Amino acid sequence: MSNNKRIWIANPLGIFTGNGADAGAGLVIEGTRILELVARGQTPSVDWDERFDASKHVVIPGLINTHHHFYQTLTRALPAALNKELFPWLKTLYPVWAGLEPDMLSAATELALTELLMSGCTTAADHHYLFPSALEEAVDLQVEAAAKIGMRVTLTRGSMSLGEDQGGLPPRTVVQTEETILADSERLIQRYHDAAEGAMVQIALAPCSPFSVTTGLMRDTATLAQKYNVRTHTHLAETLDEEAFCQQQFGLRTVDYLESVGWLNERSWLAHGIHFNADEIERLGAAGVGIAHCPNSNMMLASGICQVQALEAAGCPVGIAVDGSASNDCSNMIQEVRQAMYLQRLRYGSSQVHHQHALRWGTQGSAAVLGRDDIGELAASKQADIALFTLDELRFSGAHDPLAALLLCGAHQADAVMVAGQWRVRDGKPVDIEIPALLEKHRAAAARLAAKVS
């Protein structure tokens, strides 16, 4: 059969389309796209080549992770970094991460993407900002790893240019010159960025944070992003320490700083985005700045709770992210969606935040944060990125609403996942990925990295 065969994903137990459309009898896939939604009680209006029985599955759009640090899968639960807040946590880990080598990053990226894929994630954004000696082509390695796993990625060329000796947070060994950063950013855009519908790889530019880059680099990055019409990304307003740093270093609050360097626009999205006042939320919304909400990481580092509903009401796209695997410490998107629902209930109340809200943040909302309108929902002509979950574990027994049960009962692994019309997970196992070999390679890399500083 050619790649354009038609697959009917038929009669799901439950379905979330993201747009309210009736797809009770499933959907038809042709090639890389969704051809048709089939209303309850109906059959497809077109002939199909294959019928996938989804009667035991809850079907949702592929989840979209808007912020990650793949390399951090190598430093999960590292004893020296436990029980710390953001700044001391970072200062503990920077010397460890400075020892990254190319094969370590490749293993970390493959493992992170596989972990995400098995949790129902089909698109992931990574923020890689560490380029020690011999790792100058880090993003190139990630492009190769993503192709191997078969996932869509937005790979951000991160950077750090402000070392400890200049008033920044990172050690001198992990910072680069601004000239090097900008030249490599341009190279990566020209080589890999695909602006077309259905793109598998997109590049964005991502100076790490106000406490690790200069204002000059932030401005020049904004100019370069405008030239090539790519997106910009950074950490902002994650903790009160960061707010204090901005005021001390620049004499500005975080949003004022963002505006001063030319980032207050719809090309930008921010990781965390917690500590904004009402006026700042209105300004961010008016500019269309996106927010990557990282609930588990925010709780692990006790950073605070993102004001998701206020940000959305102001006009900000809001998506969900697992953040780095040293501050989560796992890469599981369906669990992250569940955690987002519960954390936002703490802020807004249990009657104001439903499971549909959280699923929307992890699909449609996340797609908007990454500037994409071809993924994030189940609709005709959208990309065929789909996650299917079975409810046959003990945790689901007695559940009456299948879609609600997906989050309330704590789903953690997809039974089947499709990316661009291709099955990447079947029967709970990733296609063409040898898990034991990947684990052996990754564990060896993690041990070697930790041993460098022991």
Residue 82 backbone class (left: φ over 0; alpha: ψ -120 to 50; beta: rest): beta
Residues 81 and 43 in one domain: no
Nearest to 210 by CA among 151, 170, 266: 170
Residues 74 and 157 in one domain: yes
End-to-end CA distance of the chain: 54
Give the model's pLDDT for residue 56: 98
Helix, coil or strand: residue 238: coil
Residues 149 and 42 in one domain: no
Sign for the pseudo-dihedral over CA of 165, 166, 172, 174? positive
- Residue 3 — pLDDT band, cuts 50, 70, 90? low
Mean pLDDT for the chain overall: 96
The enclosing domain of 46 has a CATH number of 2.30.40.10
Residues 129 and 228 in one domain: yes
Residue 142 CA to residue 432 CA, distance in Å, equals 18
**Domain interval for residue 414:** 6-61+382-430
Tokens 């996938």 sit on residue: 52
The enclosing domain of 294 has a CATH number of 3.20.20.140
440 in a structural domain: no
For residue 434, give Cα distances in angstroms to 42, 90, 429, 442: 39, 33, 9, 12
Are the C-beta atoms of residues 418 and 29 closer than 8 Å to each other? Answer: yes
Orientation of helix 86-97 relative to helix 240-250, angle to 10°: 80
Give the CA angle between residues 11, 14, 19 to the nearest 5°. Answer: 100
Per-residue pLDDT of 397-413, as tens digits, reads: 999 999 999 999 999 99
Nearest to 221 by CA among 175, 189, 253: 189
- Predicted TM-score of the model (pTM): 0.97
CA 284 to chain centroid, in Å, comes to 20
φ and ψ at 336, to 5 degrees? -65, -40
Which among 369, 396, 414 is the end of a domain?
A: 369
* Tally of structural domains, the chain: 2
Are the C-beta atoms of residues 58 and 389 closer than 8 Å to each other? Answer: yes
Residues 144 and 57 in one domain: no
Residues 56 and 68 in one domain: no
446 in a structural domain: no
Residue 325 CA to residue 124 CA, distance in Å, equals 14
Residues 400 and 287 in one domain: no
Structure tokens at 345: 């209930």
Per-residue pLDDT of 49-106, as tens digits, reads: 999 999 999 999 999 999 999 999 999 999 999 999 988 999 899 999 999 999 999 9
Residues 294 and 169 in one domain: yes
Give the model's pLDDT for residue 1: 36
- Residue 181 — pLDDT band, cuts 50, 70, 90? very high
Nearest to 152 by CA among 122, 114, 107: 122
Residues 290 and 165 in one domain: yes
Give the model's pLDDT for residue 390: 98
Are the C-beta atoms of residues 46 and 28 closer than 8 Å to each other? Answer: yes
Give the model's pLDDT for residue 189: 98
Residues 306 and 388 in one domain: no
Residues 118 and 13 in one domain: no
Tokens 């099955």 sit on residue: 423
375 in a structural domain: no
Residues 135 and 11 in one domain: no
Per-residue pLDDT of 224-282, as tens digits, reads: 999 999 999 999 999 998 889 899 989 999 999 999 999 999 999 999 999 999 999 99
Nearest to 122 by CA among 150, 155, 145, 141: 150
